[in-house]
């Protein structure tokens, strides 16, 4: 039979296990994602369920509050936008959930005509055009732009052939 381990060994062993467990927990929490919530923040409200066809604008404002956005071309269309993003430590944030509730009002009676809910899967990825817009003239360096007007005379009124130009007249 083996003799029992000294009490000092048990305390060192348990303290090493405690240090290892806390280091592992610290490293694990450093890699945890950060969740951020943007947009419409009604905790108990569900816009697609709470709003029904026939409700007035005042009822919608009471239940949901002011919309996140209204349509530019159609002011009778209100948007309630909600988005959740996840960010890992050194990475770009990634949208994990998006909900857009569109409330259309009848323009004559100011009542809800339709309620539509869009999700992240309904969105489209837009790719910007990589081409550059051409400009007239040549590109100048900063030094050429600063020194380019040195020595140039101001036009007098007799050479002003463009009357729509806002030049100061002496």
Q: Report the C-alpha gap between 86 and 77 in whole angstroms.
A: 30
Question: Could you tell me the two tokens for 136?
Answer: 């007239």
Coil, strand or helix at 142:
helix
Q: Nearest CA to 67 among 57, 77, 78?
A: 78
Q: Read off the pLDDT of residues 65-114 as tens digits, 9 standing for 90 and up.
A: 888 889 888 989 999 888 889 988 788 888 888 888 899 999 899 999 99
Name the helix (H) or strand (E) containing 13. Answer: helix 7-30
Task: Determine contact, residues 13/31, Cβ cutoff 8 Å.
Answer: no
Q: Read off the pLDDT of residues 61-75 as tens digits, 9 standing for 90 and up.
A: 988 888 888 988 898
pTM flag (> 0.75) = no
Task: Determine contact, residues 99/112, Cβ cutoff 8 Å.
Answer: no
Task: Determine contact, residues 53/114, Cβ cutoff 8 Å.
Answer: yes
Q: Higher-confidence residue: 105 or 138?
A: 105
Q: Report the C-alpha gap between 23 and 14 in whole angstroms.
A: 14
Neighbours of 99 (CB within 10 A): 19
The per-residue pLDDT for 77 is 94
The per-residue pLDDT for 169 is 53
Q: Kindly state the average pLDDT of the residues 2-16.
A: 67
Coil, strand or helix at 111:
strand
**Mean pLDDT, the chain, integer:** 78
């Amino acid at each position: 039979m083996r003799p029992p381990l000294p009490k000092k060994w048990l305390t060192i062993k348990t303290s090493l296990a405690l240090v290892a467990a806390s280091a592992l927990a610290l490293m694990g929490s450093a890699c945890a994602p950060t969740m951020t919530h943007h947009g419409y923040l009604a905790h108990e409200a569900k816009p697609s369920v709470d709003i029904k066809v026939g409700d007035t604008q005042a009822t919608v404002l009471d239940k949901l509050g002011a919309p996140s956005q209204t349509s530019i071309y159609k002011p009778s269309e209100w948007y309630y936008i909600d988005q959740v993003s996840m960010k890992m430590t050194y990475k770009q944030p990634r949208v994990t959930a998006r909900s857009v509730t569109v409330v259309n009002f009848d323009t004559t009676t100011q009542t809800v005509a339709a309620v539509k809910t869009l999700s992240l899967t309904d969105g489209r990825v837009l790719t910007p055009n990589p081409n550059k817009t051409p400009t007239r003239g040549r590109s100048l360096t900063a030094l050429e732009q600063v020194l380019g007007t040195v020595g140039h005379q101001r036009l007098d009124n007799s050479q002003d052939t463009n009357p729509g130009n806002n030049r100061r007249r002496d």
